[in-house]
Amino acid sequence: MPAEDLAPVELTVVDTNGAAYTPRPMPGLGDGLEVLPLVTDPDTGMQVMKAVYRAGFVNRWHTHPCAHGIYVLSGTLVTHRGSFPAGSFVWFPEGGRMEHGASPDGDVTMLFITNKPFDIRHVFEE
């Protein structure tokens, strides 16, 4: 079919500048994560959200049944493999355990992208 015969696509637009974040308490970890859902694909479960870890909050050892990427918009993302400043994109493969959060010096704001439905299971180890 020629492109000119296709209907223009609908757009999803979210002005994140003034939108309110939703606190997302983490069992056993308390507050420290705030999310702003942007889009969820009904066919694949892929999600995109803007999120904030407050200064010093660390999402301790956990696993996900999905891969996910974090694009750091501001602040520094601290992980079990190092720290990553604004402008960094960090991909976390599905499976295995991981830690990530904000440095004690300030909040980290991120674009959080999953490849399928998101869930989390914490693995509290000392």
Superfamily of domain 33-122: Jelly Rolls (2.60.120.10)
Domain range annotation of the chain: 33-122
Tokens of 60: 């301790």
Q: What is the pLDDT of residue 124?
A: 62
- pLDDT at residue 54, rounded to an integer: 93
Average pLDDT by consecutive 10-residue portion of the chain (126 residues)?
86 92 80 90 95 93 91 97 98 92 95 91 67
Tell me the C-alpha distance between 9 and 83, whole Å: 39
Q: Name beta bridge partners: 6.
A: none
